[in-house]
Amino acid sequence: MKLLDLFSGIGGFHKGFEKAGFEFDWVGFSDIDKYASAVYKYRYPDAKELGDITSIRPERDLPDNIDILCGGFPCQAFSVAGRRKGFEDTRGTLFFEIARILRHFRDTEKPIPHFVLENVKGLLSHDNGRTFAIIYRVLTDIGYTVECQLLNTRWVLPQNRERIYIVGHFGTGSGCKVFPIGESGQVSYNRNTEVASTLQHPGHSGGNYKGMNMIDTGLKQVKAVLTLDRKEKRQNGRRMKEDGEPMFTLNAQDQHGVLVKEATKKGYAEAKVGDSINLSVPNSKTRRGRVGKGEAQTLDTGMQQYTIDKTAIRRLTPVECMRLQGFPDDWNEKGIMDGKVVDMSDTQRYKQAGNAVSVPIVSMVAERIKDGK
């Protein structure tokens, strides 16, 4: 089988299809991020690097037939964080490059049987649904039966990450139906076991990952508390100031967490050991939902998510981010650049995790495609 992996990142689609039992004798991958491509080359040294999707010429760069096309096409143009410019943004127009390649294989009478695309939830509502309607119409005009579903990583991993998956089968009588998968809100993992196994980082007990106390964060949104009903009482000889500023760091005797300021009627959310805290846009007066109860919130490229250990607040590690996306711990530790194996910086590893697809979710979709073939 042959796989065309577009906007390939660090290979989440490839890995997901592999986990579902697919074996490929040819793989081509395309991404403009040289660091992500370096990881891809390290993990899949036999794959063919195709570079920028706009430069791909199917008749020149691709084999005569492709079995699976996949791609998490750029989502910034459709996300709230990206100001939702959609097709007005050059990143939004890259969808039409996917359509161009699909159309080429149809016109050569060797249509690609299946495609799987992924994007942010905001794609569905962007421009009052007109953007998604255009995408749907373009794909069906090429000749595909198209189905989609909003899937959440939290169904299989402790990360609340909603993404729209779009699956296409060429022709109207393929008989292959992938969706629906699961049920809305379904959580199929053991939350306590999964969180405990995810939020640990062997080999990273010190150095850059040394626990930070609340004062070290420098963010006033995070404030230590004793308990809400004991603010004025001493505990271990310490007292909380009236304004809520911490006079201490957490220790094993403090069986509580921290208050995180957010724009709700209550004014804060309480985070405890094992919860995540999103500290992006720290001065926002409208941000809410900063605390993930027993799970991470959606990983992004800036990686401003923290968690609470027994004694401190600390940033999630690159290893934990890989686990939250369903990759092996060391998946993006190294890459190949200029023919040499190099170490990836933490900055790049965080960015790669935020841009990646969740491997188990891809695998669930791939299994349905395999069963219907």
The residues annotated with a catalytic role in the active site are: 75
260 vs 257: CA distance, rounded Å: 10
Contacts of 317 (CB under 8 A, 6+ apart): 201, 204, 209
CB 168 within 8 A of CB 141: no
Q: Which runs of E-coded beta strand occur in the chain?
A: 2-6, 26-30, 48-49, 68-71, 114-120, 144-152, 159-160, 162-170, 222-224, 258-261, 268-271, 276-278, 291-292, 296-297, 305-308, 313-315, 334-337, 340-343
Quote the tokens at residue 69. 């096309």
Q: Identify the CA nearest to 204 among candidates 324, 332, 316.
A: 316
CB 226 within 8 A of CB 235: yes
**Rounded to 5 degrees, what are φ and ψ at 224?**
-75, 150
CB 115 within 8 A of CB 143: no
The sign one gets for the Cα dihedral 244, 248, 253, 255 is positive
